[in-house]
């Protein structure tokens, strides 16, 4: 299958899942995760009408964005972020999905230049393993409140990755309740970033507004040396 065929097959599956869930597919943004692939793939995706791509490593994001500076594309940073990379991330990302601690929020805010405003999501850890990234659900509101008070960040919602050892539907239902609690305090924080190649249909049922789909569209990721 060609890239174009894979992309349209996934978009059909998204439309079907939305219909089944009684949702409008127009409310769902499909982000193509391009990590490990060359910048030329982002160019090909752009030619196919893709407007949103996701990267999970700062250096790779920075390099691709610099190479493709003129491409009309929204760049989503979806990886774990070191505080000392906050400034580099901010310079290359339009949206940061993975804000999971006060220090990172503060560092992103300090890295603002002029009056630019960065869209951010609070990453929720749906596992008990702190190494997987994200704030525990019971810490989400405090972090959301902190972000909302930082002038150069705009709190847009929450993000999560489904655990490996749990059915995605039940994990995403927990994410939904955290999302609802955050949104009750911050009405503009209406985004739910969830759903990857293996579980985007379940994420749509749970109300995901932003899907992060990689290999189903791009094909297998090149192995990193
Ligand atoms: C790699 C990645 C994805 C995409 O994964 P696929 O299984 O290839 O769809 C989504 N979200 C995050 C945070 C990722 O790192």
Q: CATH no. for residue 94?
A: 3.20.20.10
* 24 found inside a domain: yes
* 170 found inside a domain: yes
Which residue did the predictor score with more confidence, 127 or 131?
127
Confidence of residue 224 (pLDDT cuts 50, 70, 90): low
Q: What is the mean pLDDT of residues 25-45?
A: 98
Confidence of residue 183 (pLDDT cuts 50, 70, 90): very high
Q: What is the mean pLDDT of residues 1-16?
A: 97
Pocket of ligand 1 (CB under 6 A): 33, 35, 56, 78, 161, 196-198, 212-216
Q: What is the mean pLDDT of residues 34-47?
A: 98
Confidence of residue 225 (pLDDT cuts 50, 70, 90): low
For the CA of 200, the nearest atom of ligand 1: 9
* 225 found inside a domain: no
Distance, in Å, from the CA atom of 32 to the CA atom of 54, rounded to the nearest integer, reads 6
CA of 196 to the centre of ligand 1 (A): 6
* 42 found inside a domain: yes
Domain range for 105: 3-218
* 128 found inside a domain: yes
* 89 found inside a domain: yes
| DSSP type of residue 135 | B
Atom 11 in ligand 1: residue holding the nearest Cα: 212
Does residue 188 carry a pLDDT above 70?
A: yes
Q: Are 124 and 139 in contact (CB under 8 A)?
A: no
Q: Are 133 and 113 in contact (CB under 8 A)?
A: no
Dig out the tokens for 196 from the structure.
């990857």
Atom 7 in ligand 1: residue holding the nearest Cα: 197
**Structural domain tally of the chain?**
1
* 140 found inside a domain: yes
**Per-residue CA distances from 40 to 43, 44, 64, 189 (Å):** 5, 6, 9, 33
Q: What is the mean pLDDT of residues 84-110?
A: 98
Atom 13 in ligand 1: residue holding the nearest Cα: 78
Q: What is the mean pLDDT of residues 142-152?
A: 98
- Predicted local confidence at residue 221, as pLDDT: 85
* 224 found inside a domain: no
Q: What is the mean pLDDT of residues 152-174?
A: 97
| Average pLDDT score over the chain | 97
CA of 114 to the centre of ligand 1 (A): 32
**Per-residue CA distances from 11 to 73, 83, 168, 169, 183 (Å):** 18, 35, 20, 20, 27
Does residue 77 carry a pLDDT above 80?
A: yes
């Amino acid at each position: 299958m060609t890239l174009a065929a894979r992309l349209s097959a996934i978009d059909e599956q998204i439309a079907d899942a939305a219909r089944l869930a009684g949702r409008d597919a127009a409310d769902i943004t499909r982000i193509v995760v391009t990590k490990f692939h060359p910048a030329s793939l982002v160019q090909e995706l752009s030619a196919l009408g893709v407007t949103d791509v996701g990267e999970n490593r700062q250096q790779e994001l920075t390099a691709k964005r610099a190479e493709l500076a003129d491409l009309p594309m929204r760049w989503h940073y979806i990886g774990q972020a070191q505080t000392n990379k906050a400034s580099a991330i901010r310079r290359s990302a339009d949206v940061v999905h993975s804000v999971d601690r006060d220090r990172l929020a503060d560092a992103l805010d300090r890295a603002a230049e002029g009056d630019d405003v960065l869209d951010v999501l609070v990453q929720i850890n749906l596992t008990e393993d702190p190494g997987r990234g994200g704030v525990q659900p019971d810490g989400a509101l405090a972090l959301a409140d902190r972000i909302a008070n930082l002038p150069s960040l705009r709190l847009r919602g929450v993000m999560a990755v489904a655990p490996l050892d749990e059915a995605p539907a039940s994990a995403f239902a927990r994410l939904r309740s955290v999302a609802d609690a955050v949104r009750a305090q911050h009405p503009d924080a209406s985004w739910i970033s969830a759903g990857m190649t293996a579980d985007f249909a379940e994420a749509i049922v749970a109300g995901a507004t932003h899907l992060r789909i990689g290999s189903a569209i791009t094909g297998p990721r090149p192995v990193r040396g």
